[in-house]
């Protein structure tokens, strides 16, 4: 992605502006699209978003200017807005139908594992296609995404959603549910800890992975002509590690617990980001580790929040969490873009890692961000929902 943007003449600051545009659109669109998911159905919301993403990917592959990419990034973000809250809401409600909502982390982790394993093969293919023309992967991604729209047509709405009388859910009531959830004692510190701080910092890792990868491998004497194909191989390894960790999400949760996982994670990741600035050779293993932790952590966050909200307004609440994260990442993106142009992407990530460690410690001093693990057999959303 970012090698493609650089080939179009964009600088790091312009790339950061694109990412900021994406997240500002997320901020403005998440709650309205989450509300749509609660009113017209999770499946319909997913279908709208998937079609919009597919069309946008074609447009990005054809784009030749910064201005056109800004417009397309707005469309891209809007497509994911329709999907972000409805995905987890559909899965959690479907599991609730079978009294299996406590299996959310395990099932979502297995699904994410399959996705990443397939993505490993796609990464190698994409690396090869990118070595031919950096626009080709966009077109293939658009075609594969379009297949998802066909699959969604066969998906049913969960019975728990259909029984929730969502037609009575007004937009002001949906906003009230989000406000009560975010400010409530059970989630307010967690929202700051994960959705504002951790998610914003780790997002930067994915923004700067490609240019840092290029810098590191060129430093090892790799010819510039081989960077794209090697990047594809790296993404394959990167995805397979994520697939393996995600597949074990249920076991990790049972053995370590959500509370222990979240309390130590920011310090491990933040320390690694600072360390790779002083030893750039650590950048590649650090990226692999952060990738491996990222998807399973997002799964655990979804379990933690879903256990504490009710079916009515669930998609809006989950979209609201994404909105908070999207807003928080904007200053990180803009600041990291300026720092990368002025010094280097490695320096920008080191600063972000330091901020992660310090702010995570301050939040823990203020209020425990994660409640002690509860007996999962006790229920889930219906037991803890607002």
Are 234 and 284 spatial neighbours (Cβ–Cβ below 8 Å)? yes
- pLDDT single digits (tens) 252-289: 888 888 889 999 999 999 999 999 999 888 888 898 88
- Give the three-state DSSP class for 113: helix
Residue 169 — very low, low, confident or very high, per pLDDT cuts 50/70/90? low
Would you call 99 exposed, middle or buried from its count of C-beta atoms within 10 A (0-12, 13-18, 19+)? exposed
Average pLDDT score over residue span 87-93: 82
Residue 381 — very low, low, confident or very high, per pLDDT cuts 50/70/90? very low
At residue 375, φ and ψ (nearest 5 deg) are -70, 110
pTM: predicted TM-score of the whole model, two decimal places: 0.68
User: Quick check: 171 pLDDT over 60?
Assistant: yes
CATH class of the domain at 2-372: mainly alpha
Average pLDDT score over residue span 237-241: 81
- Distance in angstroms between the alpha carbons of the first and the last residue of the chain: 40
Which of these, 111, 114, 92, lies nearest to 102 by C-alpha position? 92
Give the integer Cα–Cα distance in Å for 296 and 248: 9
Give the integer Cα–Cα distance in Å for 124 and 233: 5
- Find the helix or strand (DSSP H, E) in which 257 lies: none
Domains of the chain by residue range = 2-372
């Amino acid at each position: 992605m970012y090698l493609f943007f650089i080939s179009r003449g964009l600088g790091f600051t312009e790339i950061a502006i694109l990412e900021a545009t994406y997240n500002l659109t997320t901020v403005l669109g998440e709650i309205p699209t989450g509300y749509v998911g609660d009113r017209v159905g999770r499946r319909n919301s997913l279908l709208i978003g998937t079609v919009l993403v597919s069309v946008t990917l074609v447009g990005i592959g054809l784009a030749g200017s910064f201005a056109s990419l800004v417009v397309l990034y707005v469309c891209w973000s809007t497509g994911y807005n329709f999907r972000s809250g409805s995905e987890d809401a559909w899965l959690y409600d479907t599991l609730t139908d079978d009294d299996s909502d406590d299996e959310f982390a395990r099932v979502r982790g297995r699904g994410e594992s399959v996705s990443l394993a397939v993505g490993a093969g796609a990464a190698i293919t994409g690396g090869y296609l990118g070595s031919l023309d950096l626009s080709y992967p966009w077109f293939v991604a658009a075609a594969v995404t379009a297949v998802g729209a066909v699959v969604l047509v066969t998906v049913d709405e969960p019975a728990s959603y259909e029984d929730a009388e969502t037609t009575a859910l007004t937009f002001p009531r949906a906003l009230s549910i989000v406000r009560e959830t975010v400010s409530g004692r059970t989630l307010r510190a967690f929202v700051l800890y994960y959705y504002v701080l951790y998610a914003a910092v780790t997002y930067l890792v994915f923004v700067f992975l490609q240019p840092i990868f290029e810098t590191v491998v060129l430093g090892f004497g790799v010819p510039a002509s081989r960077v794209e194909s090697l990047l594809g191989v790296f993404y394959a390894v990167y995805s397979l590690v994520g697939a393996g960790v995600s597949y074990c999400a249920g076991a990790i949760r049972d053995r370590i617990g959500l509370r222990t996982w979240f309390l130590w994670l920011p310090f491990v990741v933040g320390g690694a980001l600072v360390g790779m600035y002083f030893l750039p050779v650590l950048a590649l293993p650090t990226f692999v580790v952060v990738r491996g932790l990222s998807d399973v952590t997002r799964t655990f966050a979804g379990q933690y929040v879903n256990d504490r909200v009710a079916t009515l307004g669930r998609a809006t609440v989950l979209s609201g969490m994404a909105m908070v994260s999207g807003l928080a990442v904007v200053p990180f993106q803009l600041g990291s873009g300026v720092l990368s142009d002025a010094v280097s992407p490695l320096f920008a990530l080191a600063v972000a890692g330091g901020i992660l460690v310090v702010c995570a410690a301050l939040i823990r001093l203020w209020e425990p961000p994660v409640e002690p693990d509860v007996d999962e057999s006790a229920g889930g959303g219906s037991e803890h929902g607002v």
